[in-house]
Amino acid sequence: MAEGFARVYGVNEIEPASAGLAPAAIVQPLTKHVMQAKNINIENQRPKDLSSIDALSFDLIINMSGTKLPPRIPVDVRDWPVEDPMGRSEDVYIAVRDQIELLIMSLVLEFRREGRSAASPETEPHKRKTRSRTGSGSKTALNSRR
């Protein structure tokens, strides 16, 4: 979910990627459904394992796994307490979606206030690469559980 919101809302501020500590085999249909209700298409997103990414290539890691990441990661890590909706009702998915949307919107506004927009040529090389981590649950985008 976070990756989908970051791609739409942070188009000039964030280069999002998503990975999980124990990624699911597929993006859950209910996840796709609740995102589509916000007109955000995540059909082409696939769960990826954390080991498949180069954490050092990112400026910021958003951790939504509920698990502390290894301290050896020399990148700014922010922990977002987001519930894993896996196996829960559609109402829970909607609540989690809405929470993630607000968190991503706040992050994008923060980057804009800092003048980190990638829209201007002089800042293009510094476009923020933001990684989502997915833990053992099923959250996609900016680090979550699955």
The domain limits of the chain are: 2-134
DSSP annotation of 10: T
Q: For strand 60-63 and strand 14-20, is the pairing parallel, antiparallel, or unpaired?
A: unpaired
Q: What is the pLDDT of residues 34-71, one digit of tens each?
A: 999 999 999 999 988 888 888 778 888 899 988 887 77
Task: Report d(CA 49, CA 47) in Å as an integer.
Answer: 7
Superfamily of domain 2-134: Response regulator (3.40.50.2300)
Indicate the pTM of the whole model. 0.79
Looking at residue 39, what is its pLDDT? Answer: 97
Note the pLDDT tens digit of each residue in 97-139.
Answer: 999 999 999 999 998 888 765 544 444 434 445 545 443 322 2
